[in-house]
Amino acid sequence: MKIIFLGSQGSGKSTQAKFAAHKLGRPFIEMGQLFRDRAKGSDPQAQEIRKALEAGNLVPDEIAVNTLKKRISMPDCANGYILDGYPRNFAQLEGLDQDINKVYYIKVSDREGLKRSIGRARKDDNLTVLTQRLQLYHKKTEPLLTYFTKRGILEEVDGERTIEEIRADVEKRLDQEFAGK
């Protein structure tokens, strides 16, 4: 089974994706962390990733697609995976497996997402970068929601509740959809 968790910055998608991965026994793939780890290198590609992250821009599509393909080709992904925060646009969608089972969209207001993000302890979470990421999210990522809806695999989850309430909701949906798989 292949599941995607989407949502704007601060939506709690990573928290819920980690929970789903643990519950379903599938690997958790957080693209942001893959990029942050890769950005620690000194080669030109690492520098390009670092530059994009620091500016709040998307990592170039070719690098993003190749990074994901490399990760999902690993043996632990043979029976599926839980993908956090990817794809970010239609070009990245092209590089994704087309047999995605479900997309959970954790929906929060911009205000709530920014409030939560500012409270995190990541060095790349300043207001300028967060605002840039939010604008990119609305412009590039939100159109994917329509695509996933048309495919009949999108589920919207109210992300403005407590972590526990959201987790219970997601767990119920996972049980209904994937019980015994």
Write out the DSSP string of 72-114.
HTSGGGTT-EEEES---SHHHHHTS-S---EEEEEE--HHHHH
pTM here is 0.90
Domains identified in the chain, total number: 1
Q: How buried is residue 1: exposed, middle or buried, by Cβ count under 10 Å (0-12/13-18/19+)?
A: middle
Return d(Cα 146, Cα 152) in angstroms, integer: 10
pLDDT for 6 beyond 90: yes
Q: Are 133 and 82 in contact (CB under 8 A)?
A: no
Beta bridge partners of 157: 106
Q: Provide the 8-state DSSP code for 31.
A: H
Q: Are 130 and 56 in contact (CB under 8 A)?
A: yes
Q: According to the model, what pLDDT value does residue 124 have? A: 65
Average pLDDT over residues 104-111: 95
Interval 46-79: pLDDT, tens:
999 999 988 888 899 999 999 999 999 999 999 9
pLDDT for 129 beyond 70: yes
Output the domain CATH number for residue 7: 3.40.50.300
- Domain range enclosing 135: 2-178
pLDDT for 134 beyond 80: yes
Q: According to the model, what pLDDT value does residue 180 have? A: 67
The larger pLDDT score, comparing residue 116 to residue 146, is at: 146
Helices 127-136 and 44-55 sit at what angle, rounded to 10 degrees?
Answer: 100
pLDDT for 32 beyond 70: yes
pLDDT for 30 beyond 80: yes
Strands 81-84 and 28-30: parallel
Q: What whole-number percentage of the chain has pLDDT above 90?
A: 77
Q: According to the model, what pLDDT value does residue 43 have? A: 94
Give the model's confidence band at 181: pLDDT under 50 very low, under 70 low, under 90 confident, else very high.
low
pLDDT for 106 beyond 70: yes
Q: Helix (H, G, I), strand (E, B), or coil: what is residue 173?
A: helix
